[in-house]
Structure 1
């Protein structure tokens, strides 16, 4: 061995001796499965590397998807905000926390003095912890004394939440634990692409198939999820309610209903039966584009099996009749008695990481903690007592997220406190949204990065990532888990809950926002939710550290949590479920193809990205998989329009245009194109979506728009 080789060997050995390894337990910050994982950090004299491994848990059993494996990349990204920023002469400059908070308080007080308490608004997130969601509601009602608060979960879960509450008397993501899926004999997956959006729970469905289950998928596209199904109902976008009517009519006509269950536990069946009798199956076949023989096969299969589950997601829900369409699928469950027993139940596949918990404790405009109603005097009194204020000081309900934006455009709302959300990309009619937010007198944004919306802000406050912020999260099955911090805050960044308290204190509300840690907030949340529908009182940090999560409701400290809902009764005062008549045609008409706009446009996700992409587009590994948006189009349709594969196209609706790259696919209907929603500006598909809202839950109709498509070379 020469001298050079000897020196190289020496330094390699020295590096091994000096290399340090640190292991941190955490949870994935992305989808609602909330996979447990470990971040392994290796530090040597030359570099620092990271790798992520899954941890065993009751939900995902140690599995991770591509997003979870690379989640740390955005947390350590060079563009992370580490100081408060204030806009001066159109440019952001770093300022101290004291200066930022003083300025925020001054501007809020000025607006509320000039324009009234309700001139300030709060826009929250379903990706924050339960503690922070709870504080957002308290901050709006006690800190700002405004009725205008809502959150981005309005665009995600509101249709399923309202349907569950109206039908069952309460809303929890799954009425059963996830592992019951494996033992269900027939499963309907309506408008959900679990294989790409929540891939770590796909093994439950694969196990169900191995056990002999018959799986029915309802989707205008063939996806990785529909490939698992035994039957794919490839319906026209927006016709889910009518398809459910067809399935239910055949179940009733073939005497496949559970009359004992209906008589004991349901209201409204006779009205539904009478309505169905007047419907034409041939008209439903024509309306949905699904062959009657396939509708019949789905109905007979589900009706004859002893157990069955129905799971819905955004494909059904993000429509102007999303709430009542979900209710029609719940009609099917109730009519067949497939609820409240092993292997039978409903699941709304939540999108955001804390989509369940964030909608339970006060961010919704009509809601107080524990799923209490802000219009109910008894509920107001309970929460006011916990908060130490008089009930009449609490504002009444305001309006939904998009309606708040409309009020910004109209000049009624003058200021906005925005937490971890990006509404100018995520909302429909996105150009209008940007215009409306630009009219505000004052906008403060709290975020990890300078998002597209944060660029409009007067002040941006730096928050902490999932690795740094401790708190509880509630996954899609209603399982509350504790995510403990594994890293210190980056630079001067502060936790969301600290920032909320800092702003409240700057406004002189210290007595209501004095917490030393996230656990203090959770203990107050427990009291506020006690006795409510979403009762967390029996859950404590100590109990969560000793368990892999507890499913709510959990009313006492010795309660084990509730794995299966509605075994004996539903949550309505009479203990019965409420069936409802659902028309084939929605009350709010959807756009339909015409000569000028001949194609349906529908939207959705890809596996590598999350929401508006603010975090995942900062991950080199994830961004490399999908660095730009695309339009999925059937080759036959593309040829008729003169569009080649992998070429730039312009998609135009009545609201505007975007430019993306074409992608030929035989997996989509010939009358439909698909574009994912993770990109901004000229690739933001939400620029094309109209802003009509579901009359029940105020959900925008993201899934159905009428568009024209042209090769970019042909655009003049």
Structure 2
């Protein structure tokens, strides 16, 4: 019997729609034996359990990339973890029962907190969790474990953009408009993102701006996305690495100098214009050319095309990790927001500013309570009204909800320290690889009294775990 189900690819923020169909004779699932500590995964099974087909949906318009097409192969991959694994004295993980695994985890929590206190148990989440799982992970940490030590890998992802959004708008919102809104844009300025390779179906939404000559890509490299600007279809600005902030200040300088500012919008809906005007006054195009390597005429043309697009089919400014993950990443994202405000883009019909989320649910992970300083619904954990509201929803006294914990980097630095985390739960994150100063993180993991990792595969972090 053949059955099918509509779903979405989980591997990036595009969440492409697809249909999974089970063949009449599905391939059997693998049965793992002892799992060696190895970073070389076995070859995938030849026959997938499910067939994958792209499904028509506004974001992907029926398209998928290789991540989506091959997603079902993970179901019966011989390296997939299908039952709890306990590390033995010889360093080999062997299967145990679920009852035994849960008992070991509970005993580790109780022993750790009895010796060191409630905050000696930590939880580290990930942007790959669904909204429901992210919500439950935060609730599990704060109510079941009674710990404030919870954060997630989004701190390494969009934290600069999130801080800039809070600074400018008072809210952290990745993409505040439907992706299909880009289809009719006259001008799109993209900085720090190579969607043609990281989110291939995304490029369908750039066609309108490209055909109008309004696609502007900022990237030091000649990326696959930058190639869409060839043959007069747009502009490719190639700043020296690390100079994106200066480039944005130069574009804003031109907008003000050439009187391209949406003065009504700025007067009615913004504050601080005089301070912005003063700060960009020192970044005239010729000076910016010397600092960034971008020709002055391209800086001027970028400002003009953005302003023209705002009054025609619409204009959008989109940032990605490439310009955000720097020591001045928050300032760079703020400069992009300020440029969009000068042009009157945010909140206007057919225009806007947004930051492209990378992980499958980086936005939802923040919104639903994985961050050390937030409760579900973007509620500050220090806000008495927010705490009272969440306490009512959870049916507990407000006093049982812990206060703010440690953000991701500080949480990982605390591993094994006297007043730090001694028992850690890791969900949907490979922190041994994807964290700053990975060697120090691995050393911290090895110093723990007990490490639990929830993963489908024996990742580098899972290889360090007592219990998988």
User: Same fold by TM-score, threshold 0.5 exceeded?
Assistant: yes
1:445 aligns with 2:453: yes
1:429 aligns with 2:437: yes
Question: In structure 2, the residue corresponding to 1:30 is in which secondary structure?
Answer: coil
1:381 aligns with 2:388: yes
* CA deviation profile, 1:138-180 (whole Å, cap 9, x unmatched): 1111111111111111111222222222212222222221121
Q: Residue in 1 aligned with 2:228?
A: 228
For the Cα contact (< 8 Å) 1:418–1:446, is it kept in 2? Answer: yes
1:344 aligns with 2:348: no
For the Cα contact (< 8 Å) 1:37–1:52, is it kept in 2? Answer: yes
Q: Residue in 1 aligned with 2:207?
A: 206
Q: Residue in 1 aligned with 2:375?
A: 368
Q: Residue in 2 aligned with 1:541?
A: none
1:329 aligns with 2:336: yes
* CA deviation profile, 1:620-661 (whole Å, cap 9, x unmatched): xxxxxxxxxxxxxxxxxxxxxxxxxxxxxxxxxxxxxxxxxx
Query: Which shifted more, 246-255 or 302-311?
Result: 302-311
Q: For the aligned residues, what is the CA RMSD?
A: 1.7
The 5-angstrom pairing of residues 655-666 of structure 1 reads none
The 5-angstrom pairing of residues 540-619 of structure 1 reads none
- Cα drift, residue 450 of structure 1: 1.1
Q: Residue in 2 aligned with 1:69?
A: 69
Within 2, Cα distance between the matches of 1:208 and 1:233?
Answer: 16
Q: Give the count of matched residue pairs.
A: 440
Q: Residue in 1 aligned with 2:466?
A: 458
For the Cα contact (< 8 Å) 1:122–1:149, is it kept in 2? Answer: yes
- Cα drift, residue 283 of structure 1: 3.7
1:392 aligns with 2:373: no
Within 2, Cα distance between the matches of 1:289 and 1:430?
Answer: 33
Alpha-carbon distance change, 380 to 244 in structure 1, aligned in 2, over 3 angstroms: same
- Cα drift, residue 194 of structure 1: 0.8
Q: Residue in 2 aligned with 1:580?
A: none
The 5-angstrom pairing of residues 159-170 of structure 1 reads 159-170=160-171
Q: Residue in 2 aligned with 1:134?
A: 135
The 5-angstrom pairing of residues 14-413 of structure 1 reads 20-44=1-25, 50-89=50-89, 90-210=91-211, 212-229=212-229, 230-305=234-309, 306=311, 307-408=314-415, 410-411=417-418, 412-413=420-421
- Cα drift, residue 206 of structure 1: 1.1
* CA deviation profile, 1:13-64 (whole Å, cap 9, x unmatched): xxxxxxx533232211211111111123323599965431111222212211
For the Cα contact (< 8 Å) 1:409–1:435, is it kept in 2? Answer: no
Within 1, Cα distance between the matches of 2:191 and 2:379?
Answer: 29
Question: In structure 2, the residue corresponding to 1:310 is in which secondary structure?
Answer: strand
For the Cα contact (< 8 Å) 1:150–1:363, is it kept in 2? Answer: yes
Alpha-carbon distance change, 237 to 409 in structure 1, aligned in 2, over 3 angstroms: farther
* CA deviation profile, 1:185-223 (whole Å, cap 9, x unmatched): 21100101111111112111013323x251111111111
Within 2, Cα distance between the matches of 1:360 and 1:46?
Answer: 38
Greater per-residue strand proportion: 1
What TM-score, normalized by structure 1, do the two folds share?
A: 0.60
Question: In structure 1, the residue corresponding to 2:217 is in which secondary structure?
Answer: strand
* CA deviation profile, 1:442-482 (whole Å, cap 9, x unmatched): 1101110111001111111xxxxxxxxxxxxxxxxxxxxxx
1:417 aligns with 2:432: no
- Cα drift, residue 387 of structure 1: 1.0
What TM-score, normalized by structure 2, do the two folds share?
A: 0.90
* CA deviation profile, 1:399-422 (whole Å, cap 9, x unmatched): 221211111154422111111210
For the Cα contact (< 8 Å) 2:254–2:284, is it kept in 1? Answer: no
* CA deviation profile, 1:40-93 (whole Å, cap 9, x unmatched): 332359996543111122221221111101111112201211211112202212
- Cα drift, residue 279 of structure 1: 3.7
Question: In structure 2, the residue corresponding to 1:342 is in which secondary structure?
Answer: coil
Within 1, Cα distance between the matches of 2:382 and 2:6?
Answer: 41
The 5-angstrom pairing of residues 668-707 of structure 1 reads none
Within 2, Cα distance between the matches of 1:380 and 1:160?
Answer: 26
Question: In structure 1, the residue corresponding to 2:52 is in which secondary structure?
Answer: strand
- Cα drift, residue 280 of structure 1: 5.0
Within 1, Cα distance between the matches of 2:155 and 2:327?
Answer: 13
Indicate the structure (1 or 2) with the bigger Cα radius of gyration: 1
Within 1, Cα distance between the matches of 2:266 and 2:68?
Answer: 43
Within 2, Cα distance between the matches of 1:118 and 1:37?
Answer: 42
For the Cα contact (< 8 Å) 2:9–2:15, is it kept in 1? Answer: yes
* CA deviation profile, 1:343-379 (whole Å, cap 9, x unmatched): 2001211111112211101001111111111111111
For the Cα contact (< 8 Å) 2:381–2:403, is it kept in 1? Answer: yes
Alpha-carbon distance change, 393 to 274 in structure 1, aligned in 2, over 3 angstroms: same
Query: Which shifted more, 351-360 or 171-180?
Result: 171-180
Within 2, Cα distance between the matches of 1:446 and 1:368?
Answer: 22
Within 2, Cα distance between the matches of 1:81 and 1:188?
Answer: 43
- Cα drift, residue 440 of structure 1: 0.9
Q: Residue in 2 aligned with 1:615?
A: none
Within 2, Cα distance between the matches of 1:138 and 1:407?
Answer: 22
Question: In structure 2, the residue corresponding to 1:37 is in which secondary structure?
Answer: strand
Unaligned runs of 5+ residues in structure 1 are 1-19, 461-716
Unaligned runs of 5+ residues in structure 2 are 29-46
- Cα drift, residue 294 of structure 1: 1.7
Within 2, Cα distance between the matches of 1:21 and 1:31?
Answer: 28
For the Cα contact (< 8 Å) 1:185–1:343, is it kept in 2? Answer: no
Question: In structure 1, the residue corresponding to 2:2 is in which secondary structure?
Answer: strand
Greater per-residue helix proportion: 2
